[in-house]
Amino acid sequence: MHSYLFYLATGACAGLASGLFGIGGGLILVPALLFVFTAHDIPESIAMHLAVGSSLASIVATSASSVSAHAFFGSVLWRVFKPIAIGLLIGALLGAQIAGLLSGLILKRIFAVFMLITAAQMAFARQPLASSRRLPGKYGLVGAGLIIGSVSSLVGIGGGSLMVPYLSWCGTQMRQAVGTSAAAGFPIAIAGTTGFILAGWSEPILPSATTGFVYWPAVGGIVVASILVAPIGARLAHLLPAKVLKRIFAVFLLVVSAQFFMETGY
């Protein structure tokens, strides 16, 4: 019972962060799930893989909800989404397969580095200036999706922290960059989840109620809570000072990444 309450609380925190900071919940979900899986004596060799796979599975539902909202307001650039989604699907499957070949220790180090980079981005990034660059052609977008999808799947996130800066750098208006990024989270989550299921399919030491590297009780609790709480976070984002909030969250990411580094012997 305590675990289910923890999954609900984790989903609520992830949903709140998603609404407040405009990022996917993976940066909260992965370390939180790793904590509870380790506390329940799941072997270290698979705990990180299970945390990343379960995070991606929960993002499937939350990203679908987000996509519909952004599409309703016309902020998704479908002409950009269609080619980039091809790269995202291939990249996310590839990233999951790479993760399956890595040890839990290496995967944890990769996640810690990603958290550190994201913390620096949130703490020091300034309002993006208008860019004279333009989006690449169809094949360029497929290539960008391949890279973003691979990295996102490897660390269990929806890709917003990579997609939004990329689209902004290519001259896309911020509203459309955020909306298109939200849509991009769906193929990443679908392909990444599929990849982690396949990567863990023959793993002999998985706990019950799993399919590959996805633990369904955790996914269910997270999805229910995050969908309910995300709109609250979005409302708070309009009431509270965004710059201060982002820097507080950056400190949180820095502390957690430092803990990961210490645990892995860095």
- The pLDDT, as a whole number, for residue 128 is 53
The domain containing residue 190 runs over which residues? 2-263
Measuring CA to CA, which residue among 111, 61, 63 is closest to residue 221?
Answer: 61
- The pLDDT, as a whole number, for residue 15 is 73
Over residues 150-162, mean pLDDT: 87
Neighbouring CB atoms inside 10 A of 90's CB total 17
**CA–CA separation, 175 vs 146, rounded Å?**
23
Q: What pLDDT, in 10s, does the model give residues 76-120?
A: 889 999 999 999 999 999 999 999 999 988 998 899 888 888 888
| Burial status of residue 174 (CB atoms within 10 A of its CB: 0-12, 13-18, 19 or more) | middle
- The one-character DSSP state at 240 is S
pTM metric for this prediction: 0.86
Measuring CA to CA, which residue among 89, 58, 63, 87 is closest to residue 76?
Answer: 63
Place of tokens 């860095």: 266
Residue type for position 95:
G
Q: How many domains does the chain have?
A: 1
Helix axes 44-72 and 138-155, enclosed angle (nearest 10) = 130
- The one-character DSSP state at 1 is -
pLDDT at 154 > cutoff 60: yes
Question: Are 4 and 220 in contact, with CB atoms under 8 Å apart?
Answer: no
Question: Are 52 and 156 in contact, with CB atoms under 8 Å apart?
Answer: yes
- The pLDDT, as a whole number, for residue 71 is 74
Name the band, by pLDDT with cuts 50, 70 and 90, for residue 224. confident
- The pLDDT, as a whole number, for residue 85 is 93
- The pLDDT, as a whole number, for residue 140 is 93
Task: Dihedral sign for Cα 69, 73, 74, 76, please.
Answer: negative
**CA–CA separation, 195 vs 189, rounded Å?**
10
212 torsion bin: left (phi>0), alpha (psi -120 to 50), beta (else): left
Higher pLDDT pick, 248 / 257: 257
- The pLDDT, as a whole number, for residue 22 is 57
Over residues 5-13, mean pLDDT: 85
Tell me the pLDDT of the chain averaged across its residues: 83
- The pLDDT, as a whole number, for residue 53 is 95
Name the band, by pLDDT with cuts 50, 70 and 90, for residue 18. low
Name the band, by pLDDT with cuts 50, 70 and 90, for residue 21. low
**CA–CA separation, 245 vs 216, rounded Å?**
32
pLDDT at 1 > cutoff 60: no
- The pLDDT, as a whole number, for residue 132 is 60
The encoded tokens of residue 248 equal 């507080």
138 to each of 48, 81, 89, how far by Cα in Å?
35, 10, 15
By percentage, how much of the chain surpasses pLDDT 90?
A: 31
Instruction: Lowest mean pLDDT of 13-17, 87-91, 115-119, 207-211, name the range.
Output: 13-17
